Amino acid sequence: MSIAQHAERILAAWNVADPEKFESELENALHCCQKKASSNVMEMEQQELLESVVLRLRADKNSDKNNDRATKKRSSPQGLSAGFVLLQHLSHRVAA
């Protein structure tokens, strides 16, 4: 599966508000990024960006679950929004 497809699937799971599907898509994307090697610099950068966004979304989601005030100070609605903007960018840019 391509980086664009992973980004699209994460966004789709978020949009239908399905927490299990969302977690599953995050896990699939993370697994793909960690095992897939690429010789193309652009593709490697896109993989790194997707992995970074997935890890950030997971951290934000876990901080909400744990109600950890120190962690919540680091996460913000703007940070969450930025993650979704990056996913939209990846889904469109790679697909183009």
Asked whether residue 72 carries a pLDDT value surpassing 50, the answer given is no
**Residue 64 above 90 pLDDT?**
no
Q: pLDDT tier at 15 (50, 70, 90 boundaries)?
A: very high
> Which tokens hold the place of 79?
């940070």
State which residues form the domain around 10.
3-95
Alpha carbons 41 and 44: distance in angstroms, whole number: 5
Query: Model-level pTM?
Result: 0.79
Task: Report the chain's mean pLDDT, rounded to a whole number.
Answer: 82
The tally of domains found in the chain comes to 1
